[in-house]
């Protein structure tokens, strides 16, 4: 009879306890409770304790079914008062495994000596009565549950298992010795033959080294960098470009080139006249003397003088004429050698000392050319400065199109340009303080490389394959720039195209052939480079034939210098 009931008030806490009862009789035994040296578990709360009453001749499936209702609890399994159940150690092992699988802690109330012994070996606590089990500490039990072979059922014989058990060996008759020896020798011969064949097939290897026919493909094309393009257009050779701007400033100075005349001081000095006649000669004020050709400078005497016959007078003062005022009249010694006028045939003249004292008081002024020169120098410097600033923000694949650098007029402000002087002002230096916005186009060279690579690939022969590693790209100069700053530039690309080779098919065709046959076959079906020789190396060296397995033939392709 199975009764489902709640525990009494002493055991009532958070949940109901399911108890399976077949007898009200408590069990009594003289077996002691546990072993003080074992690893024990203390009962911390009785509301977690569950009772399972076994019936006589209970089997493992029914016990498993009962335990399937519980998880993570402490279960006390009670043996029947009369009779017994689960007496084999294997039964207890299976119960313990089921409890471990469901995270249950189990203990037994029994007086069966065999059950007690088996429980001791498995680390399961056994008790005399239910009351003792409620108060005592339970053993933890073994972590790994197993049993020895001699504890397993032994009530069957091999003969009974023969129809269903393949592990039970049937008895068979042995052959006579005079038949066993030839059979063994035959088996050994077969094994040796198989091993020899395997060695013959798998050990030989070959390396075929050849140079494929190659051709250098070169292209010269134009690519347009469009700021309005969103993606690359390989067919029309258009790549997207990004507008970058930089605001930069500088101060430039130029020397003014305009001139305004001021007061000029004439040069003065002393000359010496020599009289070449027999009569004394009077030299009036204003007598002119000059330097030699090609650019004579004229001086005039400032006092009268009389030069005695056949002698010289070296203290006649002179001053630069009105046409040679200023520093132009400053000349070195011995440069005046000509007398002008009526006395030129009678007198000779020279200056023993330098003529000095001439000075210019001209002023430098600002001209329109000076202002243009300052602006041109400033714009050129600002473009270089903007290039450096923009380049610092780019990735390794981005490139500035130098020819696209410009200073758009629509982005400039008049108050950003300040000259230190206006045109016509008197000054030696003109300063320009300017700030501008510089615009430039930035492209990703990888896009241009894709277009160049497509062009090279389109120009290769159909029966050849382009080697991507041999591809080279170079960006050329700018061809044109339109009003929307779309910039077209030249691009150059080149790559090496090689003849195609079906490696696996060649390996298959070469299997089992002699070296001479293999070389003739390669020359007939493979486009090898002109003036190249196919090299074949075989291991072992004296084998003489290509391996029978295609995978044992290694094809190596060498590059050629074009």
pLDDT (tens digit, 9 = 90+) per residue, 462-492?
Answer: 888 998 898 999 999 999 988 888 899 999 9
pLDDT of residue 11: 34
Both 421 and 357 in one domain: the answer is no
Q: From CA 365, how far away is CA 255, in angstroms rounded?
A: 10
The CATH number assigned to the domain holding 333 equals: 2.40.30
Range list of H helices, 392-502: 445-459
Both 126 and 275 in one domain: the answer is no
- Residue at 385 is within a domain: yes
Output the DSSP codes for 202-265.
Answer: HS-EEEEEEEB-EEEEEEEEEEEEETT--S-BTTTTEEEEEEEEEEEEEEEEEE--EEE----B
Which is nearest to 205 in space by CA: 503, 507, 557, 502?
Answer: 507
- Residue at 507 is within a domain: no
Q: Strands of 21-162 (E only): list them.
A: 40-41, 49-53, 74-78, 105-109, 125-127, 138-139
| Total structural domains within the chain | 3
Domain that holds residue 24: 19-151
Both 354 and 370 in one domain: the answer is no
Q: From CA 370, how far away is CA 367, in angstroms rounded?
A: 5
Q: From CA 279, how far away is CA 307, in angstroms rounded?
A: 9
Of 361, 376, 398, which residue constitutes the final position of a domain?
361
Both 313 and 419 in one domain: the answer is no
pLDDT of residue 144: 52
* Total-model pTM: 0.46
Of 343, 361, 379, which residue constitutes the final position of a domain?
361
What count of other Cβ atoms lies within 10 Å of the Cβ of residue 128?
A: 19
What count of other Cβ atoms lies within 10 Å of the Cβ of residue 269?
A: 23
Angle at CA 451, nearest 5°, toward 447 and 456? 140
Place of tokens 């005497």: 301
Residue 136 DSSP code: S
Q: Are strands 553-558 and 205-211 parallel, antiparallel or unpaired?
A: parallel
User: CB-based contacts of 235: which residues, under 8 Å, 6+ apart?
Assistant: none
Q: Which residues of the chain have pLDDT under 70?
A: 1-48, 141-173, 559-562
Both 349 and 383 in one domain: the answer is no
Angle at CA 85, nearest 5°, toward 82 and 86? 160
Copy the structure tokens of residue 338: 């000509």
- Residue at 182 is within a domain: no
Both 62 and 142 in one domain: the answer is yes
- Residue at 75 is within a domain: yes
Both 331 and 433 in one domain: the answer is no
- Residue at 210 is within a domain: no
pLDDT of residue 529: 86
- The answer to whether the CB of 534 falls within 8 A of the CB of 528 is yes
Both 37 and 140 in one domain: the answer is yes
Q: Strands of 388-508 (E only): list them.
A: 398-400, 417-419, 429-444, 464-466, 472-481, 487-499
Residues composing the chain: 562
- The answer to whether the CB of 224 falls within 8 A of the CB of 488 is yes
pLDDT of residue 22: 33
pLDDT of residue 38: 35
The CATH number assigned to the domain holding 50 equals: 3.30.750.24
Copy the structure tokens of residue 498: 């090689």
- Residue at 178 is within a domain: no
Both 276 and 342 in one domain: the answer is yes
Both 249 and 380 in one domain: the answer is yes
Distance set, CA 284 to CA 116, 255, 302, 341, 495 (Å): 165, 47, 9, 11, 95
CA atoms within 13 A on the CB side of 136: 24
Query: Starting at the edge strand that comes first in sequence, how are the strands of the sheet with 553-558 ordered?
Result: 535-539, 205-211, 553-558
Of 307, 331, 361, which residue constitutes the final position of a domain?
361
Both 368 and 404 in one domain: the answer is yes
- Residue at 11 is within a domain: no
Range 506-517 burial, b when 16+ CB lie within 10 A, else e: bbebbbeeebee
- Residue at 122 is within a domain: yes
SS (H, E, C) 255-266: ECCEEECCCCEC
Q: From CA 130, how far away is CA 374, in angstroms rounded?
A: 113
pLDDT of residue 142: 59
Q: Please, what sign has the CA dihedral across residues 184, 188, 189, 194?
A: positive
pLDDT of residue 493: 95
Both 36 and 99 in one domain: the answer is yes
**Angle, helix 515-525 to helix 503-510, in steps of 10 degrees:** 150
SS3 462: coil
- The answer to whether the CB of 528 falls within 8 A of the CB of 210 is yes
């Amino acid at each position: 009879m199975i009764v489902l009931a709640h525990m009494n008030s002493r055991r009532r806490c958070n949940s109901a306890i399911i108890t399976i009862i077949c007898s009200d009789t408590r069990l009594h035994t003289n077996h002691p409770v546990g072993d003080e040296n074992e690893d024990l578990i203390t009962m911390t709360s009785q509301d977690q304790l569950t009772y399972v009453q076994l019936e006589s001749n209970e089997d493992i499936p029914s016990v498993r079914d009962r335990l399937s209702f519980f998880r993570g609890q402490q279960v006390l399994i009670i043996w029947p008062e009369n009779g017994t159940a689960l007496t084999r150690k294997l039964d207890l092992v299976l119960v313990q495994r089921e409890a471990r699988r469901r995270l249950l802690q189990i203990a037994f109330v029994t007086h069966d000596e065999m059950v007690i012994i088996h429980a001791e070996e498995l680390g399961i606590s056994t008790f005399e009565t239910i009351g003792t089990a409620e108060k005592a500490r339970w053993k933890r039990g073994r972590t790994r549950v197993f049993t020895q072979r001699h504890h397993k059922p032994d009530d069957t014989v091999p003969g009974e298992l023969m129809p269903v058990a393949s592990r039970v060996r049937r008895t068979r008759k042995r052959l006579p010795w005079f038949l066993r020896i030839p059979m063994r020798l035959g088996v050994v011969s077969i094994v040796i033959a198989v091993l020899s064949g395997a060695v013959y097939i798998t050990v030989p290897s070959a390396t075929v080294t050849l140079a494929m026919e190659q051709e250098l493909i070169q292209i010269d094309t134009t690519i347009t960098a469009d700021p309005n393009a969103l993606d690359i257009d390989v067919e029309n050779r258009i790549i997207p470009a990004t507008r970058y701007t930089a605001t930069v400033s500088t101060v430039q100075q130029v020397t003014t080139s305009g001139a305004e005349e001021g007061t000029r001081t004439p040069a003065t000095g002393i000359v010496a006249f020599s009289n070449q006649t027999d009569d004394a000669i009077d030299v009036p004020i204003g007598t002119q003397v000059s330097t030699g050709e090609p650019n004579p400078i004229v001086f005039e005497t400032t006092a009268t003088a009389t030069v005695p016959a056949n002698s010289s007078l070296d203290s006649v003062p002179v001053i630069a004429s009105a046409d040679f005022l200023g520093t132009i009249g400053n000349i070195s010694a011995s440069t005046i050698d000509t007398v002008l006028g009526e006395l030129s045939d009678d007198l000779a003249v020279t200056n023993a000392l330098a003529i000095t004292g001439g000075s210019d008081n001209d002023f430098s002024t600002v001209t329109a050319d000076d202002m243009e020169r300052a602006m041109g120098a400033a714009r050129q410097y600002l473009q270089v400065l903007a290039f450096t600033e923009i380049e610092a923000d780019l990735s390794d694949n981005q490139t500035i199109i130098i020819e696209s650098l410009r200073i758009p007029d629509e982005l400039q402000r008049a108050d950003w340009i300040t000259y230190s002087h206006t045109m016509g002002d008197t000054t030696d230096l003109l300063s320009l303080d300017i700030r501008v916005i510089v615009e430039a186009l930035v492209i990703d060279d990888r896009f241009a490389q894709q277009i160049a690579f497509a062009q090279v690939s389109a120009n290769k022969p159909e029966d050849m394959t382009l080697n991507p590693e041999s591809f080279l790209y170079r960006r050329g100069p700018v061809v044109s720039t339109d009003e929307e700053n779309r910039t077209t530039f030249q691009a150059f690309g080149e790559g090496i195209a090689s003849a195609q080779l079906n490696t696996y098919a060649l390996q298959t065709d070469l299997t089992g052939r002699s070296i001479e046959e293999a070389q003739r076959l390669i020359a007939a079906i493979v486009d090898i480079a002109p003036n190249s020789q196919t090299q074949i190396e075989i291991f072992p060296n004296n084998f003489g034939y290509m391996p029978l397995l295609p995978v044992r033939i290694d094809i190596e392709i060498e590059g050629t210098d074009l």
